[in-house]
Amino acid sequence: MSEWNTVRLELEDDVATLTVDRPDRLNALNVETLHALREAIAEAEAEDARALVLTGAGETAFIAGADIGHMRDLSTAEAQEYAELGHEVADALESFPAPVIAAINGYAFGGGCEFALACDLRVASENAVLGQTEIDLGIIPGWGGTQRLSRIVGDERARRLVFFGERVDAQDAHEMGLVGEVVAHDNLEERVSRMASDLAERPAFAMRAAKEALNQVHEEPQSAGLTYERRLWSSLFGTHDQREGMAAFLEERDAEFE
């Protein structure tokens, strides 16, 4: 298998495990990592994996979000390109020809939450905290969050999560349907491994057909919505609030929005 600096792909008994491996940066998604994820997902598909697990390295974070240091000074055109890259990864997870499980072992903010939304199933450690926190940076979710979130938790709840940038713990996330199951932190790996093995033993062609049929429910309207989201997200780059929001985050101070 291929090797990447920030991503690990392991295949065992038809189950592929994809780990974002930047624990010192809370597994934040820089450009290198996004490219690696895209390639690793394609490789897992080429290896005919019958289940895919997405998780983060370390004990603290699943994926804490996108690389704000990189995003801070993007132009609108550069932001559009960055949005496209994030969408390619999310779309690859959503369209993967076998079930994908997000093993959410810690913080899942911004792009991390969006990648979890693109998975078929979400299992959270009791330590997990999730949120679409982009509003605090002067932007909006740009990798599918505005479209997928409401389909999972409902319109009102999605609006609250996005408008307020709410962070919710694992139990609250479960109660609103954002995750399907919460387990003890030390049991997360075992539980997800057992689920993935069970899925991998089921008839591959039927599982693929089931996933395609389930995805088709939202296919056309979601496709249009995702395109619109990318345009809106990138258009916010270069605004005072985007620059101020990201500067404040990086400088560890409160933002002063217009």
The per-residue pLDDT for range 41-64, each reduced to its tens digit, is 999 999 999 999 999 999 999 999
Question: How many angstroms separate the most distant Cα atoms in the chain?
Answer: 55
47 has catalytic annotation = no
On the question of pLDDT at 90 being above 90, the answer is yes
Mean pLDDT of 100-107: 98
Name the pLDDT band for 258 (thresholds 50, 70, 90): confident
Spot the catalytic one: 12, 94, 134, 189: 134
Structure tokens at 208: 């693929």
Long-range contacts of residues 96-99, Cβ cutoff 8 Å, at least 24 apart? 96/41, 96/44, 96/45, 96/52, 97/45, 97/208, 97/211, 98/49, 98/50, 98/51, 98/52, 98/199, 98/200, 98/204, 98/207, 98/208, 98/211, 99/51, 99/52, 99/196, 99/199, 99/207, 99/211
Output 218 or 103, whichever has higher pLDDT. 103
Mean pLDDT of 87-116: 98
d(CA 138, CA 13): 44
On the question of pLDDT at 3 being above 90, the answer is no
Spot the catalytic one: 3, 114, 219, 251: 114
Mean pLDDT of 19-25: 96
Can you say whether residue 138 is alpha, beta or left, with left for phi > 0 and alpha for psi between -120 and 50 degrees?
left
On the question of pLDDT at 218 being above 80, the answer is no
Structure confidence at residue 247 (pLDDT): 94
114 has catalytic annotation = yes
d(CA 134, CA 79): 14
Return all residues near 12 (Cβ < 8 A) that are at least 6 apart.
Answer: none
SS3 74: coil
Structure confidence at residue 234 (pLDDT): 92
Name the pLDDT band for 219 (thresholds 50, 70, 90): low
On the question of pLDDT at 1 being above 80, the answer is no
pLDDT more than 90, % of the chain: 85
Name the pLDDT band for 21 (thresholds 50, 70, 90): very high
Mean pLDDT of 232-236: 91
Mean pLDDT of 190-194: 98
Name the pLDDT band for 214 (thresholds 50, 70, 90): confident
The CATH architecture assigned to 7-186 reads Alpha-Beta Complex (3.90)
List, for residues 125-144, the tens digit of each pLDDT value: 999 999 999 999 999 999 99
